[in-house]
Amino acid sequence: MHAVDGLSLSVGRKEVVGIVGESGSGKSVSMYSMLGLLREANVSVTGSVKFEGRELLGLADREMRVLRGRDIGMIFQDPMTALTPVYKVGWQIAEQIRAHQDVTKAQARQRAIELLGEVGIPEPHRRVDQFPHEFSGGMRQRVVIAMALSCNPKLLIADEPTTALDVTTQAQILELMGKLQDTYDSSIVLITHDMGVISEIADRVVVMYAGRPAEIGDRRAVIRTPQHPYTWGLLGAVPRVETKRSRLATIPGTPVSPLNVPTGCAFAPRCEHRFEKCDERPTLRGDGHLDACWLTIEQKVHLRAGAVETGGHA
Amino acid sequence: MGVFILRRFVSAILVMFSISILVFLIFFATPGVDPAARIAGRSATPQVVAQVKHEFGLDRPLPIRYGLMMDHLFIKQDLSSYVNVGYKVIPQIEAAAPVTLSLVLGAAVIWLIVGVAGGVIAAANRGKFIDPLIMFLGIAAISVPAYWLGQVVNLITQSKLHSSIFSWVPPSGYVALSSNPGEWALHLLFPWLTLAALYAGIYARVLRAELVNALNEDYVRTARAKGLSERRILLRHALRCSLISIVSLFGLDFGSLIGGAALLTEVVFGLPGVGQLTYTALQNLDLPVIMGTVMYGAFFVVLANAVVDVAYGFLDPRVRLA
C-alpha cells in the first residue's frame, strides 16, 4: 500500500508551510519517513529528500542522527507521552544539547534553564529539576518546544502541536511558535487537521488527501480562493462567528483507506462534482497555486460560489 | 523521598504485625482443633499436652495467648520443638537462614545479569536470528524443573564426569562464608546456576516484551528525533522505563525464595536451608517449627516488598507522590 504518494514539497528559509488533511491522510507519515523515524522493516521510502542541497534518503543512520535534533527539530502531537517519564525535564533538554554540542553538563543545564524561560515557563530555575508529570499539558508542550529549539534548528517540524491541548493553550502555543520563529529564523512545517491553525501562522498550505497532495498554494490564495472540492469541504467545516448557521458543514463519507485508493482521483467517491474525467488520476496543475482537480477554472469559480454559500457539502 | 521511605517501612511493620496475628489465629484459634495436642506432636503423653497447655497459656484468653506466643518467638526465643525434644526453633532458623540467603542472593545476581542481558540483546536484535534463539533458551530454562535440572547437574558433576573435567566440584553440602569464602562459592556454584536458570529465562522474556513495548512509545520517538544513538535510546530510555516491572517481579521472587521457596534446590543439593527445615517440620507435623518458619518467610516477603517499593521510588518519580 501507499501511505503517501506523489507528494512534492519545498520549504524556503523562514517559511511556514502548513500541511493539512484529515486523519490518515499521510501528513505525519510523510514527515517521519523523511527523517528516518519510521523504523518498521517493511517500510520503503522512495523519491528524494533534500536538506540544504544534501540528499537525506539513504543517508546512514549515524549521519541522519546528527541532523535530527541539531538542524531539524521536531514537536509532537501529544505532550503527555512525548517526554520520558523518569527523567527531569532539564536533564532531557540537556541530553539533546550534549548529543550535538561539545559543552559541559553545567553549560547544557544553564542553556536548558534559558530555553525554559524563553518558551514562557515561569520560574525556570525551579522547574528545570521537575519531572514531566509535574507539568500541565500546555507546559509540557512548551518543554517539548524548548527541547526542539535547543540546538537552534534550521527546520522545525511540528506534528499537530496543538491538537491535544485545550483552546486557550492552543492559541498560546501558536503565538509562541510564531514568536520563536522570528527569534530563531527557523523554517517550520506545521502538520495539522485544523484549517483555523493554518490560517493563523502558515505562509503556504499543502492540502493532503489519501496520501496525495490535493492543493498547494499561498495561505491567502488557498483560503480565499480554494480550488479543490476537498479544500472547500475543509473550509466549510471551520466554525465562523459571523454567519448564522445551525449546523457545521461536513464532508460526506469517510476518508478512503490507503489499502484501497481509487485509480482515479482519490477524492472522487466523496466528491459531489465528479464527472467521467475523474476516473483518471489528476495531476497537480496551476501556476503557483496548484491543485489536483479536473474541473476547469471557470467551473470551479462557479461551483465554489455555490459551495461556499451553502457551506460546502451540506 | 525520606518521608516516602519512612512511610513505606512503617506500613511494612504494620503488615508484619497483622501477619503475626493471622498466623497465630490459624494455629491457635482454628475451631475444632486442639492446639495443645498439635504442638505436642502425634504420640504425646497427657503430661506433655498439659505442659504445652500451661506453657502457651492455652487456658487463658486469646490476647494473652498471643502475647505469650510472641514472647516465646521473639523475646525469650525459647520456643522449642516437641517432636525433636530439646531442639529450639529460633536457633534452628538462625542456622538455616544464612544457607538460604547465600543460595538465593548468589542465584539472584546471576539471574539478574543473565536475564537483563538476554532481554536487552533480544530486544535490540528483533527479527534477527539471535532474538528467537534467546527466547527459545529462555522457554527451555523455564520448562526444566529445578529438581530435575539439579539431579542431572549432580549426576554429571558428581558422578559421570567427576573423574575428568568436573574433578574440582566438591561434594554437595554447605560451607559457611565466614569459614572459607572460596569453598563457600565452590559449593554453591551449581546450586546457584540451577536456581538461576528458571528466573533468568522468565526475566529475559519479560524484559524483552517490556522493551519492545517501550520502543514503540512516544518518548522513544522523541528520543530519536533528538538525534540520540539507538544504543542510548535502548539503554537510557527504554530499559530504564522497563526496569520498573523487572524490579517488581524481582521483589516477589526474591522474597518468596528467601522465605523457603528454594526448597527443591536445597533438597537436591543437600543444603540445610530454611526450605529444607520447613519441609522436615511439615513431614513431622512439628508445629512450633512450622510457625517459626512461616513467620520468618512472611518477614522476608514483606521486607523484600518494602525494599522493592523504595526502589520503585528511585526508578519512577511518579510513585513518590502516591
Tens of pLDDT, residue by residue, chain B (322 residues): 788 888 888 999 999 899 889 888 888 877 777 778 777 777 778 888 888 888 777 778 888 888 888 888 888 888 877 777 677 888 888 899 999 999 999 999 999 999 999 999 999 998 889 999 999 999 999 999 888 999 999 999 888 888 888 888 888 888 888 888 999 999 999 999 999 999 999 999 999 999 999 999 999 999 999 999 999 999 999 999 999 889 989 988 998 898 878 889 998 999 999 988 988 888 887 888 888 888 888 888 888 888 888 888 888 888 776 5
Confirm or reject contact between A302 and chain B (CB < 8 A). Answer: no
Question: DSSP of B5-37, one letter per residue?
Answer: HHHHHHHHHHHHHHHHHHHHHHHH--TT--HHH
- Give the separation between CA B188 and CA B170, rounded to whole angstroms: 10
CB A214 within 8 A of CB A234: no
Residues of A with Cβ-Cβ distance to B218 under 8 angstroms:
76, 78, 81-82
Cβ contact A96–B217 (<8 Å): no
- How many CA atoms, within 13 angstroms, populate the side-chain half-sphere of residue A186? 27
**B287-315 helix and B240-256 helix, angle to the nearest 10 degrees:** 170
Residues of A with Cβ-Cβ distance to B317 under 8 angstroms:
85-86, 131, 133
Residue of B nearest to A92 (CA): B223
Indicate the helix (H) or strand (E) that contains B295: helix B287-315
Confirm or reject contact between A133 and chain B (CB < 8 A). Answer: yes
List the single best residue of A74, A84, A159 to mutate versus B (max B Cβ within 10 A). A84
Cβ contact B225–A73 (<8 Å): yes
Q: Mean per-residue pLDDT for A120-140?
A: 92
CA distance B253 to chain A (A): 25
Cβ contact A68–B241 (<8 Å): no
Question: Global pTM?
Answer: 0.83
Q: List CB contacts of B63: < 8 A, sequence separation 6 or more.
A: none
CA distance B236 to chain A (A): 10
Residues of A with Cβ-Cβ distance to B229 under 8 angstroms:
62, 65
Q: Where are the domains of chain B?
A: 2-89, 90-321
Residues of B with Cβ-Cβ distance to A84 under 8 angstroms:
219, 222-223, 237, 240-241
Cβ contact A65–B228 (<8 Å): yes
CA distance A199 to chain B (A): 27
| pLDDT tens column, A253-300 | 877 777 777 888 888 888 888 888 888 888 888 888 888 888 888 887
Q: List CB contacts of A37: < 8 A, sequence separation 6 or more.
A: A68, B221, B224, B225
Cβ contact B219–A81 (<8 Å): yes
CB B103 within 8 A of CB B188: yes
CA distance A221 to chain B (A): 33
Read off the DSSP letter of residue B80: B
Read off the DSSP letter of residue A256: P
Tell me, what's the pLDDT at B105?
94
Cβ contact A69–B217 (<8 Å): no
Residues of A with Cβ-Cβ distance to B224 under 8 angstroms:
37, 68
By residue count, chain A amounts to 314
- Does pLDDT of A309 surpass 60? no
Cell of B264: 527443591
More confident of the two residues A219 and A23 = A219
Confirm or reject contact between A86 and chain B (CB < 8 A). Answer: yes
Residue of B nearest to A35 (CA): B225
Residues of A with Cβ-Cβ distance to B239 under 8 angstroms:
none
Cβ contact B318–A133 (<8 Å): yes
Supply the Cα-derived Rg of chain B in whole angstroms: 24
CB A45 within 8 A of CB A31: no
Cα B229 to the chain's mean position, in Å?
Answer: 38
Secondary structure class of B176 (helix, strand, coil): coil
**B130-143 helix and B181-215 helix, angle to the nearest 10 degrees:** 130
Cβ contact A84–B318 (<8 Å): no
Cβ contact A81–B217 (<8 Å): yes
- Give the separation between CA B218 and CA A197, rounded to whole angstroms: 23
- Give the separation between CA A96 and CA B141, rounded to whole angstroms: 41
B279 burial class (0-12, 13-18, 19+ CB within 10 angstroms)? middle
Indicate the helix (H) or strand (E) that contains B300: helix B287-315
CB B153 within 8 A of CB B193: yes
| % of chain A exceeding 90 in pLDDT | 28
Confirm or reject contact between A81 and chain B (CB < 8 A). Answer: yes
Spatial CA neighbour of B72 closest among B291, B299, B301: B291
Tell me, what's the pLDDT at A312?
43
- Chains A & B: contacts with CB separation below 8 Å: 72
By residue count, chain B amounts to 322
Cβ contact A74–B225 (<8 Å): yes
Cell 536475564 found at: B115
Cβ contact B229–A65 (<8 Å): yes
List the single best residue of B222, B242, B243, B316 to mutate versus A (max A Cβ within 10 A). B222
Confirm or reject contact between A147 and chain B (CB < 8 A). Answer: yes
Residue A311 pLDDT class (50, 70, 90 cuts) = very low
Cell 518546544 found at: A145
Supply the Cα-derived Rg of chain A in whole angstroms: 21
Q: Mean per-residue pLDDT for A17-28?
A: 82
Tell me, what's the pLDDT at B163?
81
Q: What is the architecture of the domain spanning B90-321?
A: Orthogonal Bundle (1.10)
Cβ contact B315–A86 (<8 Å): yes
Residue of A nearest to B313 (CA): A86
CA distance B316 to chain A (A): 5
Cell of A275: 464527472
Q: What are phi and psi of A239, to 5 degrees?
A: -70, 140
Confirm or reject contact between A313 and chain B (CB < 8 A). Answer: no
* Closest CB from A78, A84, A100 relative to B227: A100
| pLDDT tens column, A185-204 | 889 999 988 888 888 888 99
Cβ contact A74–B228 (<8 Å): no
Cell of B284: 513431622
Residue A37 pLDDT class (50, 70, 90 cuts) = confident
Contacts of B27-30 with C-beta under 8 Å, sequence gap 24+, read: B27/B287, B27/B291, B28/B56, B28/B58, B28/B62, B28/B65, B28/B66, B28/B69, B29/B62
* Closest CB from A61, A66, A86 relative to B241: A86
DSSP strand pairing (A72-75 vs A187-192): unpaired
| pLDDT tens column, A209-240 | 888 888 999 998 888 888 888 888 888 776 66
Question: DSSP of A140-171, one letter per residue?
Answer: HHHHHHHHHHTT--SEEEEESTTTTS-HHHHH
Spatial CA neighbour of A43 closest among A93, A91, A2, A11: A2
Spatial CA neighbour of A71 closest among B122, B227, B275: B227
Tell me, what's the pLDDT at A308?
55
Q: List CB contacts of B34: < 8 A, sequence separation 6 or more.
A: none
Residue of A nearest to B219 (CA): A82
Residues of A with Cβ-Cβ distance to B127 under 8 angstroms:
41
- Give the separation between CA A270 and CA A229, rounded to whole angstroms: 10
Residues of B with Cβ-Cβ distance to A73 under 8 angstroms:
225
